[in-house]
Amino acid sequence: MEQGLRSDGNNPPSIDKTRVLDVKPLRCLAPVFPSPNGMSSVSTPQPSPFVCVPPTGPFPPGVAPFYPFVAPNDSGRPGESSQQTPSGVPNQGGPFGFAQPISPVPLNSFRTPTTANGNSGRSRRAVDDDDYSNSQDQNDQFASGFSVHVNNVEDSGTGKKRGRPKKPRRAQQAEGLTPVEVDVEPLLTLLLTSFKLVDLDQVKKADGDKELAGRVLLVFDLFRRRMTQIDESRDGPGSGRRPDLKASNMLMTKGVRTNQTKRIGNAPGIEVGDIFFFRMELCLVGLHAPTMAGIDYMSVKLTMDEEPLAVSIVSSGGYDDDGGDGDVLIYTGQGGVQRKDGQVFDQKLERGNLALEKSVHRANEVRVIRGVKDVAYPTGKIYIYDGLYKIQESWAEKNKVGCNVFKYKLLRVPGQPEAFKVWKSIQQWKDGVASRVGVILPDLTSGAESQPVCLVNDVDDEKGPAYFTYIPSLKYSKPFVMPRPSPSCHCVGGCQPGDSNCACIQSNGGFLPYSSLGVLLSYKTLIHECGSACSCPPNCRNRMSQGGPKARLEVFKTKNRGWGLRSWDPIRGGGFICEYAGEVIDAGNYSDDNYIFDATRIYAPLEAERDYNDESRKVPFPLVISAKNGGNISRFMNHSCSPNVYWQLVVRQSNNEATYHIAFFAIRHIPPMQELTFDYGMDKADHRRKKCLCGSLNCRGYFY
DNA sequence: GCCCGATCATGATT
DNA sequence: CAATCATGATCGGG
C-alpha cells in the first residue's frame, strides 16, 4: 500500500519503553473502506486491503457460496452489466483515444463444454487413523479431501496412456504393487457445487466480476493443490504431471472461467496488484488468454475494416526486457529468436507484433503483467498485474546474434494503484539500498525468529503496542494425554510422499499434508505433524508449522484498526504463515483479554465442509490460547469477516503425549503489503462482542 | 470445421 | 545454477 512507500526521509526514532508500556492493545474496530460501494476498482487510489465476502449471514445452511468474495462491479453499478449486450463489451469510446467507439470482435467463440464421464472404480476409504473418536464420518472424508478410488483394472481398455513411460516410478510401482489411482472427477464436482460454479451462464463466462473471479481462482488452486498431493502420493516427489495444466484444463472444459470476452482495458474483477503463480490462472480469469505467448490481441472493427490490437502482454524477462523505473517497460516482440535447431530468424511483423504496432497508432490501453522470479522458490515465477499501459513508440533493432527484433516502449497510465513499484521498494529495503520509513523497531522478535519482523508506524505518533514478551511457540502447562497414541515415523531423511511405510503419512490418511514449498495441500479437521519421537529431521516436510514464519513480516499501525500484520513477501494460496503462539489456558476462562484464540468458537467452514458441517469446525481438544502477556506476531493479526488467512488445527505427538497447535495458512495468493486477517469466529457469550467495521459486504457487524 | 503449429510454461534433472 | 528435456494446452490461422 502506498503509505508504506512514502519517503520523507526521517530516521526511525529509538523505542521509548515508558510510552510503549501504556499503550492499550488495539486489535479492533474501525472501517477500512471509506466507501463500501460506488468506487470503481480501477480508479481507487489504493488496493483494498481485504477481499470481501457477500453477506451470507452468520452461517447459512447450504445456501450462498461459503467463501465468496466481494464484488465491487467493475463499473461500480451492479445492475448495469445485465443491460449490456450479450457480446457485451462496454464501449466507452473516449479512454482509448479513438474518435469513434470501437466495436471489438472476439476472435474466439465459446468452447462447448464436454460432458464428463464418471470414472468407475472400486471405492475405498482412505486409511484414516485419526485418534479422536467421532471423526469417522462423512465429515472427515470431506475434510481430508474426498474419497479415494482404487483402479484395479489397468486403464480398463480405454487405451489411454498417461504420464511418461520412461522413468520407472519408485515405491509402489517399482515393487509391483497396485498403483493407487484417485478419480479426481467427483472431487472437482464437489468443489464446483460448493462454490456455485456449476453451469455458469454465458453472461458470467463472458464478463466477470471480482466475486466470480475470486471463486474461479480459489477452486483452481484448491483443485490443483489436491491433485499435486494425489500425484505425489502415487509417484513420489518429482512426478512431473503438471497438475496446473490438468486442473485448468478440467475447469475450462467445464466452462469454469470468466472474462472470456476479450476487451481493451481492465478485466472486470481483477485488480491492479493482484498476483498469480501460474500462467493458467491468467487464462481462467481472462486477464491474458494465451497459455504461453506473451502477447494477447483481438480483432477490432474500426471505421472500415478490422485490425488487430494488443490487449495484454506478459513481460517475463525472457527477452531481456528492460524493467526501467517501474513506470516504463521496454518490451520485445515475439518470435524469431528461439529455434530448436539453434537457428535464429528475424522477427516478423505479424500476430502479436503486428497488433502491438497497430496499438501504437491507436494508442489503446494495454494490460501489463510482469513476471518476476519467486525468491522463495527460484524455479517458479510470480505474475503481477501492473495495470494499464500505453505504447509510446516502437522500433526495430538488431539483437545480440544479429537478428531483427521489434521493441515497444510502454508507459504506465497514471492514477493507478501501485503494484510492481511496491515490489521494487521492498527489494530496496531488503538490499539495504533504501530504508523503510517509519520503522520503530527493526526486529520486535529480538532474533527469536529466523527472519526479523520490524515494527512500523507511518500513520501517526504512537510508538508501539502494549508491552508483551515475544515467544515463538505455544506454551503448554501440561500436554494432552492421547487415549490412542499414533506411532512415530522412522523416516531418517524426512518423510517423503508416496512412502506407504511412513506412520505419519498413514495418520494423515495416506497423504503428506504439505507440498515441498510449504503449501497446505488440503484442509483437514486435524493434521498430524511429526513429533519429537519421530526420526525425521527438523526440516522434514511434515513439520511445517514448527519452523516459524517463512515470509518476511512486519507489524504496522493501520489507519483505524490499531496494529496489524502484513508481509513483504508474496504468499501463495495455502502457504504457511505462522503458528498462534501464547499460553494455553482453560476454556471459557478469559474476560478482559483481547489476545485470545479460542478454537471452541464457531467458525465459518472452508471449502466443501460447508453443507454438512453447519455448526462448527470440530475440535477434538478445547484449545484456548492467550497471547496477552506473551505471544508471537499472530497476536497482531486483525479480524475480518472476509479474511485472507485461515487457521488449521495441527497435532504433534510423541508416544502418548500430544500438543495441539493452531497454524495459519493463506486462503489465496496474498500480494505484498496486504494486511493479513483471519476470522475470529463466533462466540456464544454475547458480552464479548465488539463492533466490527471491517467494511466488507458480508460483515457480520461484530466480532469477538 | 478440423487440424496443426507457434508460443516469454513448469518442474525436475544434469 | 544455466541449460536441457519432457510433457503440455490454448488459440489463431490455413
Domain co-membership, A504 together with A644: yes
The nucleotide whose C1' lies nearest the CA of A240 is B11
Domain co-membership, A352 together with A462: no
Domain co-membership, A187 together with A286: no
The nucleotide whose C1' lies nearest the CA of A339 is B6
Q: Pick from A212, A246, A261: which residue ends a domain?
A: A261
Domain co-membership, A528 together with A498: yes
- List the A157 CA – C13 C1' distance (angstroms): 36
Per-residue pLDDT at A135: 34
Per-residue pLDDT at A95: 32
Q: Pick from A434, A460, A478: which residue ends a domain?
A: A434
Among all protein residues, pick the one whose CA is nearest to the C1' atom of B7: A293
Strand B close to A330 by CB, under 7 A:
no
Cα–Cα dist A628/A467, whole Å: 9
A131 within a domain of the structure (yes/no)? no
Strand partners, A645: A666, A678
- List the A644 CA – B5 C1' distance (angstroms): 41
Strand C close to A351 by CB, under 7 A:
yes
Per-residue pLDDT at A182: 62
Longest C-alpha distance within chain A, in Å?
Answer: 80
- List the A375 CA – C1 C1' distance (angstroms): 14
Per-residue pLDDT at A240: 54
pLDDT digits (tens, 9 = 90+) for A158-180: 333 333 333 333 333 333 333 44
Domain co-membership, A244 together with A201: yes
Strand B close to A622 by CB, under 7 A:
no
Domain co-membership, A257 together with A330: no
Q: What is the CATH number of the domain that holds A271?
A: 2.30.280.10
A174 within a domain of the structure (yes/no)? no
Domain co-membership, A332 together with A455: no
The nucleotide whose C1' lies nearest the CA of A250 is C9
The nucleotide whose C1' lies nearest the CA of A257 is C10
Cell numbers given for A263: 476487451
Q: A671-694 as b/e, with b when 16 or more CB fall inside 10 Å?
A: bbbbbbbbbbbbbeeeebeeebbb
Q: A460-469 as b/e, with b when 16 or more CB fall inside 10 Å?
A: eeebbbeebe
Q: Contact, A136 vs A128, CB < 8 A? A: yes
Cα–Cα dist A566/A557, whole Å: 10
- pTM score: 0.76
| Other beta carbons within 10 Å of A70 | 23
Strand B close to A114 by CB, under 7 A:
no
pLDDT digits (tens, 9 = 90+) for A330-346: 998 988 765 555 566 78
Q: Pick from A261, A289, A312: which residue ends a domain?
A: A261
Domain co-membership, A476 together with A357: no
Strand B close to A682 by CB, under 7 A:
no
Strand partners, A514: A520
**In chain A, helix, strand, coil percent, each to 5?**
20, 20, 60
Domain count, chain A: 3
Domain co-membership, A496 together with A410: no
The owner of cell 500462467 is A279
Nucleotides on chain C that have an atom closer than 7 A to a protein CB are 6-13
Strand partners, A322: A330
Strand B close to A317 by CB, under 7 A:
yes
Among all protein residues, pick the one whose CA is nearest to the C1' atom of B12: A238
The nucleotide whose C1' lies nearest the CA of A291 is C10
Cα–Cα dist A110/A260, whole Å: 8
Domain co-membership, A599 together with A565: yes
Q: Contact, A262 vs A300, CB < 8 A? A: no
Strand B close to A170 by CB, under 7 A:
no
Q: Contact, A156 vs A140, CB < 8 A? A: no
Question: In A218-333, which ranges are E strands?
Answer: 275-276, 295-301, 306-315, 328-332
Strand C close to A253 by CB, under 7 A:
yes
Per-residue pLDDT at A660: 94
The nucleotide whose C1' lies nearest the CA of A236 is B12
A130 within a domain of the structure (yes/no)? no
A381 within a domain of the structure (yes/no)? yes
Among all protein residues, pick the one whose CA is nearest to the C1' atom of C11: A290
H-assigned helices in A259-298: 279-284
Q: Find, among A532, A565, A514, the residue nearest to A654 by Cα.
A: A532
Cα–Cα dist A117/A228, whole Å: 22
* Structural domain containing residue A237: 183-261
Q: Contact, A270 vs A285, CB < 8 A? A: yes
Per-residue pLDDT at A284: 95
Strand C close to A291 by CB, under 7 A:
yes
A54 within a domain of the structure (yes/no)? no
Strand partners, A409: A330, A393
Strand B close to A296 by CB, under 7 A:
no
- List the A318 CA – B10 C1' distance (angstroms): 15
pLDDT digits (tens, 9 = 90+) for A184-204: 888 898 889 888 899 888 888
Q: What is the CATH number of the domain that holds A546?
A: 2.170.270.10
Extract the residue ranges of chain A whose pLDDT is less than 70: 1-182, 235-240, 303, 318-324, 337-344, 589, 606-620, 686
CA atoms within 13 A on the CB side of A162: 12
Q: Which bin fits A111, alpha (ψ -120 to 50), beta or left (φ > 0)?
A: beta
Neighbour-count burial of A593, counting CB atoms closer than 10 A to its CB (0-12 exposed, 13-18 middle, 19+ buried): middle
Domain co-membership, A517 together with A638: yes
Element housing A440 (H / E): strand A439-441
- List the A308 CA – C13 C1' distance (angstroms): 14
Strand B close to A225 by CB, under 7 A:
no
The nucleotide whose C1' lies nearest the CA of A107 is C12
Amino acid at A191: L
Q: Find, among A377, A436, A381, the residue nearest to A673 by Cα.
A: A436
The nucleotide whose C1' lies nearest the CA of A167 is C6
Domain co-membership, A321 together with A454: no
A82 within a domain of the structure (yes/no)? no
A122 within a domain of the structure (yes/no)? no
Q: Measured between alpha carbons, how far is residue A10 from residues A6, A558, A603 in Å?
A: 11, 20, 43
A202 within a domain of the structure (yes/no)? yes
Amino acid at A492: V
